[in-house]
Structure 1
Amino acid sequence: MSDVRLSVRENVLNTPGLVTFADYVDHLTRRGKGWVAEADGRTVGFAIADLQGHSIWALFVHPDFAGRGAGRMLHDAMLNWYFSQTAETVWLSTAPGTRAEAFYCRAGWQFLGLLASGEAKFEMTMSLWQNQPHENA
């Protein structure tokens, strides 16, 4: 997963050591759940929902596989699972002016404004999610 995370050209992790292997393990085993997309025997994307923090911790697709549907498939599987576990609103943040921001707008997320960090904050309510078409219904 870290290979995919470090390959992205937008929302770049400027300090790779900031997100450790232990962080991945914690989010996958204690805080939430994760999904991977594979092609040609390799991981090309992944998504992780943080059920404790009511947030999307990660959704990344390797740039070589962008635009092929892996991101939307991961997104929809993740939100279907999230809202099967809780009715709490889920949030995420991403860099403004990126393909990720446009993706979340197309997927029905509500833009809430900019955080102090400069990132765009979005939220998805259960009712918003239930009232739109998605891949893994």
Structure 2
Amino acid sequence: MTPTACSAQLRLATLADVEALFAVRLAVTDNVLTREQLADLGITPASIAELLAAAPCAWVVEVDGEVVGFSLVDLVAGEVFALFVRPEWQAQGFGARLLAAAETALFRKHALIWLVTDGAPSVRANAFYQAQGWRQVAQLQGTDVRYEKSRSVKQHVEAT
């Protein structure tokens, strides 16, 4: 049985969620990286715990106590650093809810926010970000692309 988006809980991530974030990240089928590859990029349980302890910068969607997706931002850089939903929970609105939480936090500090993702045509994230109002602005190394989104007048008023 597939739950509806309203039966899921969106909340700030806590230190207790660190391993669940890694479980989600390692379960994805697009932009696949192993735990070792993440560690080579400096993404470890310790580094994520440090980020979570420093500021509210990550959100999870939970269904029946299980974390099924998360978003993580870099509040200083204005970047959506990560957004992942377990494959079996995709296409249920969880990604949009997680992205909205990330955008809200970033637009409190930045008029322009950004993210980098794999731009390969087969990667679902591209259509998702475009549908959420993000614009692809640059081709980066390999197949990576940069997306940007500007704060609207309404968001600016809400942020002040």
Same fold (TM over 0.5): yes
Match in the other structure for 1:17: 39
* Structure 1 residues 66 and 128: alpha-carbon distance in aligned structure 2, compared to 1, 3 A threshold: farther
Match in the other structure for 2:117: 94
The 4+ residue runs of structure 1 with deviation greater than 2 A are 26-32, 127-131
Match in the other structure for 2:4: none
- 1:50 and 1:104 map into 2 onto residues whose CA distance is 18
RMSD: 2.0
Deviation, 1:6, is 0.2
Deviation, 1:116, is 1.9
1:81-116 Cα distance to aligned partner (Å, 9 max, x none)? 2212x1341110111121011100100001112112
- 1:61 and 1:91 map into 2 onto residues whose CA distance is 19
List aligned pairs for 1:104-119, cutoff 5 A.
Answer: 104-119=129-144
Match in the other structure for 2:63: 39
Three-state SS of the structure 1 residue aligned to 2:152 is: helix
* Normalised TM-score (structure 2): 0.74
Three-state SS of the structure 2 residue aligned to 1:9 is: coil
Unaligned runs of 5+ in 2: 1-20
Match in the other structure for 2:79: 55
- 1:116 and 1:32 map into 2 onto residues whose CA distance is 30
Q: Is the 8 A contact 2:79 2:106 kept in 1?
A: no
Q: Is the 8 A contact 1:108 1:128 kept in 2?
A: no
Larger Rg: 2
Aligned sequence identity (%): 34
- 2:56 and 2:145 map into 1 onto residues whose CA distance is 22
* Normalised TM-score (structure 1): 0.85
